[in-house]
Amino acid sequence: MKEIEARRSIRKYKSVEIDKKIVDRLIEGARLAPSGNNRQPWHFILVTNRETREKIARTAHSQTWMLTAPLFIVCIADIKARMESDDEFYVDEETASFELKRAIRDTSIAIGHILLEAVSLGLGTCWIGWYTQKEIRPILGVPEDKFVLGIITVGYPDEVPEPRPRKSVNEIIHNERW
Amino acid sequence: MKEIEARRSIRKYKSVEIDKKIVDRLIEGARLAPSGNNRQPWHFILVTNRETREKIARTAHSQTWMLTAPLFIVCIADIKARMESDDEFYVDEETASFELKRAIRDTSIAIGHILLEAVSLGLGTCWIGWYTQKEIRPILGVPEDKFVLGIITVGYPDEVPEPRPRKSVNEIIHNERW
């Protein structure tokens, strides 16, 4: 697929706003992702506010290039979407729960859809995961039972990076058994 | 993207083998997925052997429809690809490690690529996650520090399922903050 081949992590964006209809298409891509038991355990916060983006970038080890992106999509895995219980939960990087792993799995597929849909729309993205739950959640008012799985910077690319090196097929493929 | 819209979970396949070149393209889609620090923490076992597929299907709560698929791709998240240490690890559904969450995240993106690439090639897939690490790993000789994230059945579809219901956009989108 051409979108898979063309996708790069983009860390420099043009100063051009993204039309709402284009953003809607990104979200539609995520919404149609598959999920275990069709639970769709995902939420997305669309952040364009400059001050909020600055706070997020600071939390992400002050990667100032992030601010060239006019839109951040904060992607959240929601363990509650997989549970019947109304009990209070707390999740973070060290939570053991299988349900959290499942919510991370499903939300990752949905985010992957956003990255590819972006390519098809001429947009660039970068998935940022370098922050802590403890620091990022208060900035956005995210409850402590939700796991912020990634911040996706979105914008029109202002760089054309080379592909990153990859493992060879032989390093990742096994025939019939390990 | 048309592949995102057209993707369905397929649980009935035609009795038609899949050409090796086609399988190579599925794997190439996975290989090009993004990953944290470009660690590419994934492995894939291609299983066509009937007896092995029977054992796997039995472990997956005897979902006998799985056997109509000529190929299973067993997808594995490898925590070791994210660690410098040579120490022995054991991972399973209840492992707390952040590194395992990251490996699951990255491998999920790669599997998502396989599902979409399959659509573009006229193939159908279904992601099976209903088994235990303890039962599935010995069937394939997978070491105990690897997490079997999914079994993907692959074949030419012999059914045309309707799309599954989805949450509305309003249920999953937040503007500027939670």
C-beta atoms of A169 and B28 within 8 A: yes
pLDDT tens digits for range B26-83: 999 999 999 999 999 999 999 999 999 999 999 999 999 999 999 999 999 999 998 8
Predicted local confidence at residue A148, as pLDDT: 98
When pLDDT is cut at 50, 70 and 90, the band that residue A37 belongs to is: very high
- Which domains can be identified in chain B, with CATH numbers? 18-159 (3.40.109.10)
C-beta atoms of A177 and B141 within 8 A: yes
| Interface membership of A142 toward B (CB under 8 Å) | yes
Q: How far is B65 from chain A (nearest CA, A)?
A: 17
Helix A133-140 with A50-59: angle, nearest 10 deg: 170
Contact A161, A8 (CB under 8 A): yes
What is the value of ipTM here, to two decimals? 0.97
Task: Pick the closest to residue A98 from B145, B108, B167, B91 (CA basis).
Answer: B91
What does the DSSP 8-state code read for residue A165? P
Distances, alpha carbon B117 to alpha carbons B111, B129, B151, in Å: 10, 20, 16
Q: How far is B83 from chain A (nearest CA, A)?
A: 16
Predicted local confidence at residue A88, as pLDDT: 84
Predicted local confidence at residue B96, as pLDDT: 96
- The pair of three-digit structure tokens given for residue A59, joined into one six-digit string: 């939390």
DSSP A111-150: HHHHHHHHHHTT-EEEEE--S-HHHHHHHHT--TTEEEEE
Q: How far is A36 from chain B (nearest CA, A)?
A: 8
| Interface membership of B91 toward A (CB under 8 Å) | no
Cβ contacts of A102 on chain B, cutoff 8 Å: 129
Cβ contacts of B44 on chain A, cutoff 8 Å: 172-174
Predicted local confidence at residue B87, as pLDDT: 82
C-beta atoms of A129 and B33 within 8 A: no
pLDDT tens digits for range A68-94: 999 999 999 999 998 887 788 999 999
Q: How far is B132 from chain A (nearest CA, A)?
A: 11
Predicted local confidence at residue B82, as pLDDT: 81
| Interface membership of A18 toward B (CB under 8 Å) | no
| Interface membership of A136 toward B (CB under 8 Å) | no
Contact B37, B99 (CB under 8 A): no
